[in-house]
Structure 1
Amino acid sequence: MLVHNKRRMNFQTDSAQLVKMVSKPAEWPAFAILLEEVEHCRGMFQAFSLTYIPRTKNTRADKLARSARAQPHDVYYINSVPRIPLPGPV
């Protein structure tokens, strides 16, 4: 989305727990590293929201999720947003 200059985003998920984790990261210390990455990415947007939507209300996403689970290979996440390097010593 950032590559396409989409700075105001509402992401939707079928995981109510994920929404709770992102909204109250301090309550999920076991996921601190991952939630820090979410916060880092969130900061790149002018507006960012994460909304829970049940699978029963989104049949297209449910179909995609089911087909992904049926694939015979692993699925890997690769962050495509390059980090900004810190400036070197002055």
Structure 2
Amino acid sequence: MQCMLVHNKRRMNFQTDCADLVKMVSKPDEWPAFEILLEEVDKCRRSFQTFSLTHIPRTKNTKADKLARRARDQPYDVYYVNSVPPISLLESV
């Protein structure tokens, strides 16, 4: 979220394969153990003109799952914000 704000992307639909994350963000009061982190998420969320967070099961998005696995296999940290992945991530997809 912070990366999108730095790049002045103020209308975002974030998608995740973690159903609990969607529940946490939509009902933070039900997750007191994560209060500090969820406050930070809410702070960032208020900076967007449009914000949504939706659950996408991994079985419904195999391409993103393959890209994520490929990124984890890299010997260095991968920071990627774009609509077109770099060639090095596409090689095994």
- Using the size of structure 1 for normalisation, the TM-score is 0.71
- 1:38 matches 2:41: yes
State the number of aligned residues. Answer: 76
C-alpha RMSD over aligned residues: 2.2
Unaligned ranges ≥5, structure 1: 76-90
* Percent pairwise identity: 80
Q: 1:23: which partner in 2?
A: 26
Looking at structure 2, the residues matched to 57 and 29 of structure 1 have their Cα atoms a distance apart, in angstroms, of 31
Measured against aligned partners, the alpha-carbon deviations of 1:2-61 in whole angstroms (never above 9, x if no partner) come to: 233321110000000000000000000000111011001101101100000011111121
Q: Which residue of 1 aligns with 2:63?
A: 60
Query: Which runs of 4 or more aligned residues in structure 1 lie more than 3 Å from their structure 2 counterparts after TM superposition?
Result: 68-73
Larger helix fraction of residues: 2
The structure that has the greater radius of gyration is 1
The residue that corresponds to 1:3 in the other structure is: 6
Residue identity in the other structure for 1:36: E
Task: Output the TM-score relative to the length of structure 2.
Answer: 0.69
